[in-house]
Amino acid sequence: MIDQSLLDILICPETKQNLSLASDDVLQSLNSAIGGGSVSNRGGAAVAEPVEAGLVREDGQVLYPVRDGIPIMLINESIQLPKNA
């Protein structure tokens, strides 16, 4: 997964808020929505593949996906989380 020392220095490029690893509950809720075809990233592209890991912004509103152990810290690749995630 992500090394804790890396996680300690990563911040949201948009708001500069701290990030934390997404919980299993958040990932399950998001992947359920992805399976239903109702998720797009903030750049407007449909998210078709399940998210295996992610970093959640401190306010809980946005997730940055982690692919192959690499955090994708691009605002357009981030995903707005549902209010109940």
**Contact criterion met (CB below 8 Å) for 65 and 54:** yes
Which of 46, 53, 52, 50 has the alpha carbon at shortest distance from 77? Answer: 46
What pLDDT shows up at residue 85?
Answer: 53
pLDDT in tens, 49-76: 999 999 999 999 999 999 999 999 999 9
Residue 6 pLDDT exceeds 90 = no
> What number of other Cβ atoms are within 10 A of residue 24's Cβ?
8
What pLDDT shows up at residue 3?
Answer: 84
pLDDT band of 83, cuts 50, 70, 90 = confident
Average pLDDT over residues 4-19: 94
What pLDDT shows up at residue 50?
Answer: 96
Report pTM. 0.92
Coil/strand/helix, residue 53: strand
Distance CA 28, CA 85 (A): 9
